Amino acid sequence: MGITRLNHAVLYVSDVEASQRFYSDVLGFKAKAGASSRAVFAQAADSDNDHDLALFSKNLGQQRSGPFSPRGETPGAHEPRAGLYHLAWEVDSLEELERIRDELARLGVLGMEEDHGVHKSVYGHDPDGLLFEIAWFPPAGLLTEDDYQRPTRKLDIAAEKQRFLKD
């Protein structure tokens, strides 16, 4: 399989507008034309993808117009009723990972900070408590065998900056 990035994610949320503001203000997603209180399609700031995130209202009692119709309905019997574990988006610099970590901490929604060896991650929670991961992947040529072998540990961004941002 040649998966290289998350194409898009669809989340059922309790308040589309609050979730859209959060993803816009914190992570830079831009809502596409046609956003409503029932559905928003958004692009990541530097994406050329049609949409990277869709937010659908989790309203009860709405009529469904089709088996996968994103029109503010309750998930059908064949669709998941629970949120997913997490989504992971990639950033292209350690500085951006740190900026996002600091913003999540400022908002009180920062979760774990993990060093997975081959990538460095911070986790946060959106307004519905859904977990997401923001990851930075160091250039492969800078990684050691230890990076590929060791277990996950707490991320130390200051130490990673000293290691990877040498002039």
Which domains, from first to last, does the chain contain? 1-81 (3.10.180.10), 86-164 (3.10.180.10)
Q: Looking at the whole model, is its pTM more than 0.85?
A: no
Using an 8 Å Cβ cutoff, are 156 and 114 in contact? no
Query: Each residue's pLDDT tens digit in the chain (167 positions)?
Result: 344 577 788 888 888 899 999 999 999 999 988 878 888 999 998 988 888 998 888 764 444 444 333 444 455 565 554 456 688 889 889 999 999 999 999 999 999 999 999 999 999 999 988 888 998 999 989 999 999 888 899 999 999 999 998 76
Contact assessment for residue 109 and residue 125, using Cβ atoms and an 8 Å cutoff: yes
Distance CA 49, CA 38 (A): 22
Specify the pairing of strand 30-31 against strand 39-43.
Answer: antiparallel
CB 52 within 8 A of CB 29: yes
Give every strand in the sheet of 86-91, ordered side by side.
86-91, 131-136, 120-125, 110-115, 153-154
